[in-house]
Amino acid sequence: MMETTENWKVVPGYEGRYEVSDLGRVRNVLTGRMLKPWPNGKGGYLQVSLHVDKVRGTFTVHRLVLEAFIGLPLPGQECRHSNADRKDNRLENLSWGTHTENEKDKLVHGTRPMGDNHFWSVLTEADVRRIREDRRPLKSVAADYGVHFATISAVRLRKSWRHV
Protein backbone atom coordinates (compact mmCIF):
# COMPACT_ATOMS: atom_id res chain seq x y z
CA MET A 1 0.00 0.00 0.00
CA MET A 2 1.35 3.40 -1.02
CA GLU A 3 1.70 5.99 1.72
CA THR A 4 0.24 9.45 1.13
CA THR A 5 2.61 12.34 1.68
CA GLU A 6 1.09 15.36 3.38
CA ASN A 7 2.44 18.71 2.21
CA TRP A 8 2.21 21.79 4.41
CA LYS A 9 2.20 25.49 3.54
CA VAL A 10 1.99 28.66 5.60
CA VAL A 11 -1.46 30.20 5.96
CA PRO A 12 -1.10 33.59 4.21
CA GLY A 13 -1.20 36.38 6.79
CA TYR A 14 -0.37 33.98 9.63
CA GLU A 15 3.30 33.28 8.90
CA GLY A 16 5.04 31.54 11.79
CA ARG A 17 1.68 30.78 13.44
CA TYR A 18 -0.43 28.45 11.30
CA GLU A 19 0.01 26.01 8.44
CA VAL A 20 -2.49 24.17 6.26
CA SER A 21 -1.96 20.86 4.47
CA ASP A 22 -2.99 19.62 1.05
CA LEU A 23 -5.14 17.07 2.93
CA GLY A 24 -7.19 19.88 4.48
CA ARG A 25 -5.73 19.91 7.98
CA VAL A 26 -4.70 23.05 9.87
CA ARG A 27 -2.08 23.17 12.61
CA ASN A 28 -0.66 25.66 15.06
CA VAL A 29 3.06 25.92 14.27
CA LEU A 30 3.96 27.15 17.78
CA THR A 31 2.32 24.25 19.64
CA GLY A 32 2.28 21.61 16.90
CA ARG A 33 -1.40 20.92 17.67
CA MET A 34 -3.96 20.24 14.97
CA LEU A 35 -6.95 22.56 14.99
CA LYS A 36 -10.34 20.91 15.27
CA PRO A 37 -12.65 22.32 12.58
CA TRP A 38 -16.40 22.64 13.07
CA PRO A 39 -19.21 23.09 10.52
CA ASN A 40 -20.39 26.63 9.89
CA GLY A 41 -24.06 27.60 9.72
CA LYS A 42 -23.95 28.25 5.97
CA GLY A 43 -24.08 24.80 4.50
CA GLY A 44 -21.83 22.88 6.86
CA TYR A 45 -18.46 23.94 5.46
CA LEU A 46 -15.65 23.26 7.93
CA GLN A 47 -14.07 26.28 9.59
CA VAL A 48 -11.36 27.07 12.12
CA SER A 49 -10.39 30.05 14.27
CA LEU A 50 -6.91 31.56 13.94
CA HIS A 51 -5.50 33.83 16.64
CA VAL A 52 -2.73 36.43 16.48
CA ASP A 53 -2.09 39.00 19.22
CA LYS A 54 -5.52 38.47 20.82
CA VAL A 55 -7.23 39.03 17.46
CA ARG A 56 -9.28 36.09 16.26
CA GLY A 57 -10.49 35.33 12.76
CA THR A 58 -12.71 32.49 11.60
CA PHE A 59 -11.99 30.98 8.18
CA THR A 60 -13.30 28.12 6.10
CA VAL A 61 -10.73 25.36 5.68
CA HIS A 62 -11.30 25.05 1.93
CA ARG A 63 -10.40 28.71 1.46
CA LEU A 64 -7.22 28.36 3.55
CA VAL A 65 -6.14 25.36 1.45
CA LEU A 66 -6.73 27.12 -1.86
CA GLU A 67 -5.11 30.39 -0.82
CA ALA A 68 -2.01 28.61 0.51
CA PHE A 69 -1.52 26.21 -2.41
CA ILE A 70 -3.08 28.03 -5.41
CA GLY A 71 -3.22 31.69 -4.38
CA LEU A 72 -5.94 34.28 -4.00
CA PRO A 73 -9.04 33.97 -6.20
CA LEU A 74 -9.63 36.34 -9.07
CA PRO A 75 -12.48 38.81 -8.52
CA GLY A 76 -15.80 36.97 -8.67
CA GLN A 77 -14.33 33.53 -7.97
CA GLU A 78 -15.28 31.19 -5.15
CA CYS A 79 -14.32 27.72 -3.97
CA ARG A 80 -15.65 24.65 -5.79
CA HIS A 81 -15.71 21.14 -4.28
CA SER A 82 -15.38 18.76 -7.22
CA ASN A 83 -16.82 15.73 -5.42
CA ALA A 84 -19.69 17.68 -3.74
CA ASP A 85 -18.45 16.78 -0.24
CA ARG A 86 -18.27 20.06 1.68
CA LYS A 87 -16.16 18.42 4.37
CA ASP A 88 -13.55 17.07 1.91
CA ASN A 89 -10.96 19.83 1.89
CA ARG A 90 -8.17 17.98 0.13
CA LEU A 91 -6.45 20.15 -2.47
CA GLU A 92 -7.28 17.63 -5.23
CA ASN A 93 -10.99 18.22 -4.50
CA LEU A 94 -10.83 22.03 -4.58
CA SER A 95 -10.58 24.73 -7.24
CA TRP A 96 -11.47 28.36 -7.78
CA GLY A 97 -14.40 28.99 -10.11
CA THR A 98 -17.20 31.42 -10.83
CA HIS A 99 -20.43 31.54 -8.84
CA THR A 100 -22.28 30.23 -11.92
CA GLU A 101 -19.92 27.24 -12.20
CA ASN A 102 -20.35 26.53 -8.49
CA GLU A 103 -24.16 26.67 -8.71
CA LYS A 104 -24.11 24.31 -11.73
CA ASP A 105 -21.92 21.91 -9.72
CA LYS A 106 -24.48 21.96 -6.89
CA LEU A 107 -27.30 21.13 -9.30
CA VAL A 108 -25.31 18.25 -10.83
CA HIS A 109 -24.32 16.88 -7.41
CA GLY A 110 -27.77 17.41 -5.89
CA THR A 111 -26.37 19.56 -3.07
CA ARG A 112 -28.09 22.85 -3.89
CA PRO A 113 -30.45 23.65 -1.01
CA MET A 114 -33.95 23.69 -2.47
CA GLY A 115 -37.43 23.35 -1.06
CA ASP A 116 -37.63 21.55 2.26
CA ASN A 117 -33.84 21.15 2.26
CA HIS A 118 -33.19 24.90 2.28
CA PHE A 119 -32.18 26.09 5.75
CA TRP A 120 -34.52 29.13 5.56
CA SER A 121 -37.51 27.15 4.38
CA VAL A 122 -40.68 27.60 6.40
CA LEU A 123 -42.93 25.76 3.96
CA THR A 124 -42.81 22.14 2.88
CA GLU A 125 -43.57 20.71 -0.56
CA ALA A 126 -46.90 19.48 0.80
CA ASP A 127 -47.68 23.03 2.02
CA VAL A 128 -46.88 24.40 -1.44
CA ARG A 129 -49.28 21.96 -3.11
CA ARG A 130 -52.07 22.91 -0.68
CA ILE A 131 -51.37 26.64 -1.14
CA ARG A 132 -51.68 26.33 -4.91
CA GLU A 133 -55.05 24.62 -4.54
CA ASP A 134 -56.32 27.08 -1.92
CA ARG A 135 -58.37 29.90 -3.50
CA ARG A 136 -58.77 32.06 -0.40
CA PRO A 137 -57.21 35.56 -0.32
CA LEU A 138 -53.42 35.74 0.01
CA LYS A 139 -53.47 37.27 3.49
CA SER A 140 -55.73 34.54 4.89
CA VAL A 141 -53.53 31.76 3.52
CA ALA A 142 -50.39 33.56 4.69
CA ALA A 143 -51.77 33.82 8.24
CA ASP A 144 -52.42 30.06 8.30
CA TYR A 145 -48.80 29.29 7.35
CA GLY A 146 -47.10 32.07 9.32
CA VAL A 147 -45.55 33.73 6.26
CA HIS A 148 -45.92 37.04 4.43
CA PHE A 149 -48.65 37.27 1.80
CA ALA A 150 -45.94 37.97 -0.82
CA THR A 151 -44.57 34.48 -0.12
CA ILE A 152 -47.97 32.97 -0.91
CA SER A 153 -48.17 35.05 -4.08
CA ALA A 154 -44.72 33.88 -5.22
CA VAL A 155 -45.70 30.24 -4.58
CA ARG A 156 -48.95 30.57 -6.55
CA LEU A 157 -47.24 32.37 -9.45
CA ARG A 158 -44.45 29.75 -9.43
CA LYS A 159 -41.81 32.40 -8.85
CA SER A 160 -40.68 30.25 -5.93
CA TRP A 161 -40.89 26.50 -5.47
CA ARG A 162 -40.81 26.02 -9.27
CA HIS A 163 -39.62 22.45 -8.87
CA VAL A 164 -42.92 21.45 -7.19
Phi, psi of 159 (to 5 degrees): -85, -20
| 58 and 120 co-located in one domain | no
In a domain, 162, yes or no: no
pLDDT in the model for residue 75: 95
pTM of the model: 0.69
pLDDT at 7: 96
Alpha-helical segments (H) within 5-137: 61-69, 99-109, 125-133
Say what the pLDDT of residue 27 is. Answer: 97
Pair 7, 19: CB distance under 8 Å: no
Q: Is 159 exposed, middle or buried (0-12, 13-18, 19+ CB in 10 A)?
A: exposed
39 and 95 co-located in one domain:
yes
Distance CA 26, CA 33 (A): 9
- Do 127 and 63 share a structural domain? no
Specify if 67 maps to a domain. Answer: yes
Looking at the structure, tell me whether residues 105 and 119 fall in a common domain: no
Rounded Cα–Cα distance for residues 18 and 89 (Å) = 17
Residue 64: give its domain's CATH number. Answer: 3.90.75.20
For residue 91, what are the domain limits?
8-109
pLDDT score of 20: 98
CA distance 106 to 81: 9
Regarding whether 119 and 39 lie in a shared domain, the answer is: no
Q: How many domains does the chain have?
A: 2
The whole-number mean pLDDT for each consecutive block of 10 residues of the chain, a chain of 164 residues, reads 83 94 96 95 88 89 97 94 90 94 79 62 84 91 89 88 80
Residue 1 lies in a domain: no
pLDDT at site 112: 64
